[in-house]
Amino acid sequence: MICLDLKLCDQIEEQYRGIVRQGAVLHALLVAGRHEQAYLAWQDLRQRVGQLEQLLGALYLEARSNGIGRFLGFVQAALYLPGRKYLAVVNLQHLDHINKLYGNEVGNRALDRVEAMLREEFERHREWLLYTRGIAGDFYLLGLGVEADRFRGLLERLAARGRRDSGSELPVDAGFRLQGIEITRLGEISTEDLHLVIQYLTDRAHRDGAVLETSAEAVEAMLDWLRERYRQALDLRTRLIEEATDIFIQPLVTLDESREIHAFEVLGRFRGENGYLSAGLFIDDLIALGLAPLFDRLVLQAVIRHAPTLAKVTSRLFVNVSAASLAQPDYVQRLVDALHGPLEGFEVVMELTEQVLLEHRALVRDLHEEHGLTFAIDDFGTGYSTLQLVIELALEGTVSYLKLDGSLTRQLGITEASERIMQITRQMAKELNLVTVVEFIETLVQAERLEALQMDLGQGYLLGVPDPVPVWQGKLAYLRSKASLPGESGFTF
């Protein structure tokens, strides 16, 4: 474990020195036969050891919860050290395919197999090799102070072993894609830049991985790619400020005769010269550029800003969050502070994909148990993982909603499979006491068919368009007065 938290490292070192000193005192007292004083010294020593264990535990937890950030922080620091440096991405092929067909247990076994290989290499080359587990089947490797041939040899061994052992313990081919590049000449670089370098290596690995590139031309090609990304990101970065970021809300409505509003989903928006722009248009770029955590934080701030008005509209909010944000302790702490502060009166439902729930299961469980956060599985039906994950999370009470992918809605009446999937999902949800939510409802035919299938909630332009919070406040006030509906009992569409 590499300690990059200087304050925590200093505390650990000071505590260790104190233990050594106290141990010497205890030894001297025992030799002198001063047993009563030795006993007191021993009690103090035990206390110091316990404090050291707590500090080491805090260091371990911090490293585990923010492994990627710590790894990238070390890469930044390593660029100032002498010697050649290399960064590589190892990607497990067909992970989505494995999870869809065989379930997350098999996918986890495949990832564990890759990590075991990397652990073996690390034990042999710990003087110059460092690695961490990334996101969605990726692993990141750093070679520090080593010649290119040795690092290239490492990557070639991994590639060869991946081809040789891909089907030995798994029911499907699970080889590797690898791509590395020399980063010695990069100089000063930000964490966002490193995220982009990893994205570049991942793209190259998927396209035409050359294992390791060290030429000046290869580095310049990467820098050209980064410059183009910067150009594309310039407009996004100027928008990612509190003054330019706002939220719209869209209702989730019961699919029965009452058509009551059950909740509202929060949707991020950018203010433009001629109105608002949907953040969904830029979400892929936000993720690729490592800007998703900043965007999620701005959306959370906007929700807090609108909290007094939102309280007049609804008591239940659905909020999307990215995997990168959940991996950042700062965002999680902001979320927790909001739940116990300005959002205390709301039931907040976080929308996560099956993949994110799987990768951050311990954190998700803690947020549910300690802070009352409820979760919805978003885009259900795209088949990332098995029903085992859904069942376990539902039985724990962590997940309360299943949001079916909008592609199923669009296929209603066109393919029998989509309707069958919805029927099976509804039956399973009923058994697990889960609420089903169907997205992209745009026609009366779709709404009526979904009602006949006994789906619980619907969302889409037919049932309510996304609008600013004050606009929905006005809509509900008008409809309540027109229909003489009390409080928040809902209204009929």
Q: Which helix (H) or strand (E) holds 263?
A: strand 261-272
Residue 458 has pLDDT above 60, yes or no: yes
Q: What is the pLDDT of residue 209?
A: 59
Residue 80 has pLDDT above 50, yes or no: yes
Closest to 265 in 3D by CA, of 318, 321, 211: 318
Residue 490 has pLDDT above 60, yes or no: no
Q: Could you tell me the CATH superfamily of domain 67-235?
A: Reverse transcriptase/Diguanylate cyclase domain (3.30.70.270)
- Secondary-structure class of domain 241-483 per CATH: alpha beta
Q: What is the CA radius of gyration of the chain?
A: 27
- pLDDT, average across residues 26-42: 88
What distance, in Å, lies between the first and last C-alpha atoms of the chain? 58
Q: Comparing 70-79, 163-172, 478-487, which segment has the lowest mean pLDDT?
A: 163-172
Closest to 192 in 3D by CA, of 293, 54, 316, 78: 293
Q: How confident is the model at residue 112 (pLDDT cuts 50, 70, 90)?
A: confident
Tens digit of each residue's pLDDT (9 = 90 or more) over 37-66: 888 889 889 888 988 887 777 666 555 556
Q: What percent of the chain has pLDDT over 70?
A: 85
Q: Which helix (H) or strand (E) holds 247?
A: strand 245-254
Q: Comparing 51-55, 165-169, 398-402, which segment has the lowest mean pLDDT?
A: 165-169
In a 10 Å sphere around its CB, with 0-12 CB exposed, 13-18 middle and 19+ buried, how is residue 1 labelled? exposed
349 neighbors 378 (Cβ within 8 angstroms):
no
Q: Where are the domains of the chain?
A: 6-65, 67-235, 241-483
- Report the C-alpha dihedral over residues 361, 364, 366, 369, rounded to 10 degrees: -120
Domain pair 67-235 / 241-483, same fold = no
